[in-house]
């Protein structure tokens, strides 16, 4: 803000960008700039910024813009392709096949587990038989010893 | 003075309808019509020629892919500007991820390597002073905050009025003015040493 004349920087920016809607106010600022060296210099600096920025557009020749456009089209095609593949892969047939495989795997696993359980039961039964036989043999040995006495 | 009106043109409505109807030629037309404007908007956000190239391409891809969501509540340019801004933020996010985990996340750009340097193909028809001013402006833009840069670009490159900038960025007029003043002050200081 210019302390001598009370014109704010914001007012000068508004003036440069033609944002002062009140015609009387605009005229007042316009007249002031003609007589106030400090505000006049401020406006010139702001106009330089505005002019430089307005003319700062980057431009290429048509063939370079064509390369840019082709790149966009390529990216578009690339992004659409995975979507098509997704739909192709995850359709009803695939889900049905996956369900059958899952079901068969479940049944197979169950059969394997029951076979394992049967085998374990068999081993336990064999061990029990063996223990019983050992017991009988020991008792026979005992009676044999008594009869010898 | 540049001033691009914030309204939707009949021509745009036709292009949009054609793209929605699946006409490939309309996609081409839309890119040709807006690629330069979107590139320059992206440049204003990134202050980097290469990044602006990638961001603008990504923005155009998104504009076309999501054109079905455009209902005309805002102007078509506001719709495209917001998508460009999102593309810019996505790009920055990906850059951060890439910096942490390496280049393998950059799958989108693998087959889109340019056979030229952008700085070599820019149309430059200006004298030394203009070039110096542009370089200083570029440096000054880089020193602004993101919001200040967005406001400055919309005000100068797009030539929008304060109230239009406020609508595009979803801010109050006062907030836009405040950011614009700060941006102008910073840039004025940087350009100060160069005579017009």
CATH of the domain at B143: 1.10.10.10
Half-sphere exposure of B5 (CA within 13 A, CB side): 3
Residue B109 and residue B145 in one domain: no
Cβ <8 Å between A10 and B152: no
For B137, which of A9, A17, A52 is closest by C-beta distance?
A52
Residue B131 and residue B153 in one domain: yes
Best mutation target among A49, A61, A76 (most B Cβ atoms within 10 Å) is: A49
Question: Is some CB atom of chain A closer than 8 A to the CB atom of B56?
Answer: yes
Instruction: Among B122, B149, B176, identify where a domain stops.
Output: B122
Instruction: Among B94, B122, B150, identify where a domain stops.
Output: B122
Residue B46 and residue B101 in one domain: yes
List the single residue in B with minimal CA-CA distance to A78.
Answer: B108
Closest CA to B18 of B67, B59, B91: B67
Alpha-helix residue ranges (DSSP H) falling in chain B = 10-20, 24-46, 49-65, 76-101, 118-121, 128-142, 146-156, 162-169, 173-191
Does the structure show a pLDDT above 60 at A51? yes
For A9, which of B58, B185, B187 is closest by C-beta distance?
B185
Residue B141 and residue B183 in one domain: yes
**Which pLDDT score, from 0 to 100, does residue A3 have?**
62
Residue B112 and residue B57 in one domain: yes
Residue B106 and residue B130 in one domain: no
**Which pLDDT score, from 0 to 100, does residue B172 have?**
95
Residue B118 and residue B129 in one domain: no
Q: Give CA–CA dist B189/A135, Å, rounded.
A: 107
Instruction: Among B67, B93, B122, identify where a domain stops.
Output: B122
**Which pLDDT score, from 0 to 100, does residue B149 have?**
93
Residue B137 and residue B180 in one domain: yes
Residue B102 and residue B173 in one domain: no
Residue B111 and residue B131 in one domain: no
Cβ <8 Å between A75 and B57: yes
Q: Where are the domains of chain A?
A: 9-54, 84-149
List the single residue in B with minimal CA-CA distance to A75.
Answer: B61
Domain that holds residue B169: 125-196
**Interface residues from chain A to B (CB-CB < 8 Å):** 9-10, 13-14, 17-19, 44-46, 48-61, 64-65, 67-69, 71-76, 78-79
Point out which residues pair with B122 in neighbouring strands: A60
Torsion, Cα B91 B93 B97 B102, to 10 degrees, reads 20
Decide if B137 contacts A50 (C-beta within 8 A): no
pLDDT band at B124 (very low <50, low <70, confident <90, very high): low
Residues A84-133 pLDDT 10s: 556 666 677 788 888 999 999 999 999 999 999 999 999 998 888 888 88
B122: which chain A residues are within 8 Å (Cβ-Cβ)?
A: 58-60
B60: which chain A residues are within 8 Å (Cβ-Cβ)?
A: 72
Q: Residue B92 maps to which CATH number?
A: 1.10.1740.10
Residue B15 and residue B84 in one domain: yes
Which two three-digit tokens encode residue A41? Answer: 């210099």
A24 to chain B, closest Cα gap in Å: 20
Residue B52 and residue B97 in one domain: yes
Cβ <8 Å between B61 and A57: no
* Eight-class DSSP state of A70: H
| Total domains in the fold of chain B | 2
Out of A119-133, B61-75, B104-118, pick the least confident: B104-118
Residues B133-177 pLDDT 10s: 888 888 899 899 999 999 999 998 888 999 999 998 999 999 999
């Amino acid at each position: 803000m210019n302390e001598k004349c009370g014109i704010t920087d914001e007012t000068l920016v508004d003036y440069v960008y033609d944002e002062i809607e009140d015609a009387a106010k605009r005229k007042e600022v316009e007249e002031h700039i003609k007589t106030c060296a400090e505000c006049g210099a401020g406006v010139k600096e702001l106009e330089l910024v505005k002019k430089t920025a307005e003319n700062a557009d980057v431009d290429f020749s048509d063939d370079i813009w064509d390369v840019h456009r082709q790149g966009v089209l390529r990216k578009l095609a690339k992004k659409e392709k995975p979507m098509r593949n997704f739909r192709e892969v995850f359709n009803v047939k695939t889900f049905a096949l996956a369900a059958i495989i899952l079901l068969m795997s479940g049944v197979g696993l169950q059969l394997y587990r029951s076979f394992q359980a049967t085998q374990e039961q068999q081993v336990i039964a064999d061990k029990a038989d063996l223990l019983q036989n050992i017991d009988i043999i020991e008792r026979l040995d005992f009676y044999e010893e008594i009869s010898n006495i | 003075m540049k001033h691009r009106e914030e309204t939707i043109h009949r021509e745009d409505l036709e292009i949009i309808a054609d793209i929605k109807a699946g006409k490939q030629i309309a996609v081409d037309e839309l890119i040709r019509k807006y690629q330069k404007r979107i590139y320059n908007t992206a440049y204003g956000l990134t202050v980097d020629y290469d990044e602006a190239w990638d961001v603008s391409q990504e923005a155009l891809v998104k504009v076309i892919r999501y054109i079905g969501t455009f209902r005309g509540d805002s102007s078509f340019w506001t719709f495209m500007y917001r998508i460009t801004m999102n593309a810019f933020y996505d790009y920055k996010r990906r850059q951060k991820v890439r910096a942490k985990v390496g280049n393998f996340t950059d799958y989108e750009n693998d087959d889109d390597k340019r056979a030229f340097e952008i700085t070599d193909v820019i149309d430059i028809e200006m004298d030394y002073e203009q070039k110096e001013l542009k370089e200083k402006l570029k440096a000054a833009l880089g020193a602004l905050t993101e919001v200040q840069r967005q406001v400055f670009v919309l005000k100068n490159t797009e030539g929008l009025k304060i109230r239009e900038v406020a609508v595009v960025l979803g801010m109050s007029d006062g907030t836009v003015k405040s950011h614009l003043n700060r941006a102008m002050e910073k840039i004025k200081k940087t350009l100060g040493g160069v005579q017009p």
